[in-house]
Structure 1
């Protein structure tokens, strides 16, 4: 009887506990990283447009697509989304989309893809440290090897970026923008993960579409600022490329990438969520190599190996726990 009672208690705990499916979560994180890595190429593809215009174009497209996709579910969602949810969506949209992408675009244009990837790559360290303080989380001591490997990989990328000559003023400004983007994105990742943890009446995909609706509304308010404060005139071909890149990034990175990320956030603990950002760094560097039509340098190869080892070490620590 005692053994049977223990089985019942164990089964009850399993039903109540949030599902943690590491393999599927890692695959979703890798997919999100592959799609988000494309974002780093966008400023290079439409370099004549300002970072503000890039953000407005992308998120206007994101908002339009989100409105179309969420329309069938709107009668139900409009009754279930609370005022607290709308407030969270407003700040998440601002921190994780509008503000982050403007800062990221400025960092890429002023400091380059490698430098921006370096700073963004330290996000796993921040999120993992925050996540380790939550109840039932894997201890920070167990995650130290993963964090050391992550930091070493980012330092390899940074060392390579420093070796590439860039104007001093641009590098400093780009560095500042990259750190500001890191702070904005870190706040978004932690807050969004906690929101998804308490939202049981909204799916991750629906949350992403609602974020898109709010982000699109914020982008509309920025249209005058984005276009009235610049005197640059663009050709018809330039506008075609800008629209194509904006719509493509909105669909691939914001709709598909965010959906995979939200799915991953519900499958993995916060201490692993941060590590999944490393996939974005890896793919951003890979796309950068393809864009520049060159092979990775020795330090960049070492960075790849260290970052992959960091993710594997993090997975091993959670499996052991």
Structure 2
């Protein structure tokens, strides 16, 4: 369990970077960002998979490929399209903390899986997580109202964040269940196979991304050098290494606990956002961070107590 928690923490730290990328590249559309990230992820995965392919080629079934393409489409491409749109239209904090509901949604969906604690025993930790999410949302929308932002743009961004939440809830549960039922690949192998499947889908996405005019503001610059650097960093760090850590965590933790680990993505995204904006968290933001950490810690203790019995 200790290793699983460490892997979940590492995955969260790397995944938090994906919330910063759209903010660094305001001149590029979510379609361009998603296509570029995952074409690069597919290329990196193909290179790393090549030495293993002679051994793996007979192990990958048609059922595995179908699962890989389903998971890649919803959990990678669709998720990041929504997330990039949410960050660009609503900001890092609203996007990260709406997606931060994932520990609750994944736990609720996975509450009947083998090894999961009853929801009645998780009520306390989930209440702390929910309270943290309420705090941050109150702060975000109060601050947006005070600054006189475009509420329609913010509303579209919030809708995109909800879409990202739904996409990743499905992915987290479906991926964990598939690995538990058909666990004949290592975490690294599954991550690389996912990368290849995602890359194939991203090539198809790159066609409309290249043809459609980018819907950017008049003052947004299209810095192609920064575009390449950021997407390489995200493809290597968040997609290749982060997904490998997450698959390793999914193998070692029950679904209700792995769902709680996703909260670290939210916390790291917030930290990166504060550093980018050169400010400290406001009081409600700080309260949300404390509540989220307390909820995860309480859940870890409950699962550790059950494992020792």
Q: Same fold (TM over 0.5)?
A: yes
| CA distance in 1: counterparts of 2:221 and 2:265, whole angstroms | 32
Q: Deviations over 1:30-77 (max 9, x none)?
A: 110000000000001111000000001100100000000000111221
| CA distance in 2: counterparts of 1:243 and 1:57, whole angstroms | 8
**Partner in structure 2 of residue 190 of structure 1:** 173
Within the candidate set 42, 52, 56, 1:77 is matched to 56
Structure 1 SS opposite 2:262:
helix
Contact 1:63 1:212 in 2 (8 A): yes
**Partner in structure 2 of residue 281 of structure 1:** 266
| CA distance in 1: counterparts of 2:241 and 2:138, whole angstroms | 33
Matches within 5 A, 1:111-150: 111-150=90-129
| Deviation for aligned residue 1:259 | 0.5
**Partner in structure 1 of residue 37 of structure 2:** 58
**Partner in structure 1 of residue 244 of structure 2:** 259
| CA distance in 2: counterparts of 1:272 and 1:231, whole angstroms | 40
1:310 correspondence with 2:295: yes
Structure 2 SS opposite 1:164:
helix
Matches within 5 A, 1:284-295: 284-295=269-280
Q: 1:133 to 1:61 in 2, by over 3 A?
A: same
Within the candidate set 236, 246, 258, 2:231 is matched to 246
Contact 1:196 1:204 in 2 (8 A): no
| CA distance in 1: counterparts of 2:235 and 2:159, whole angstroms | 26
1:178 correspondence with 2:157: no
| CA distance in 1: counterparts of 2:134 and 2:177, whole angstroms | 30
Note the residue ranges of structure 1 that are not aligned, 5 or more in a row: 1-21
Q: 1:44 to 1:136 in 2, by over 3 A?
A: closer
| CA distance in 1: counterparts of 2:106 and 2:221, whole angstroms | 43
Structure 2 SS opposite 1:316:
helix
| Deviation for aligned residue 1:161 | 0.7
| CA distance in 1: counterparts of 2:214 and 2:111, whole angstroms | 49
| Deviation for aligned residue 1:171 | 1.3
**Partner in structure 1 of residue 194 of structure 2:** 211
Aligned residue pairs total 300
Over aligned residue pairs, what C-alpha RMSD do you find? Answer: 1.6
Contact 2:27 2:222 in 1 (8 A): no
| CA distance in 1: counterparts of 2:50 and 2:266, whole angstroms | 34
**Partner in structure 1 of residue 205 of structure 2:** 222
Structure with greater Cα Rg? 1
Q: 1:200 to 1:134 in 2, by over 3 A?
A: closer
| Deviation for aligned residue 1:199 | 2.6
Note the residue ranges of structure 2 that are not aligned, 5 or more in a row: none
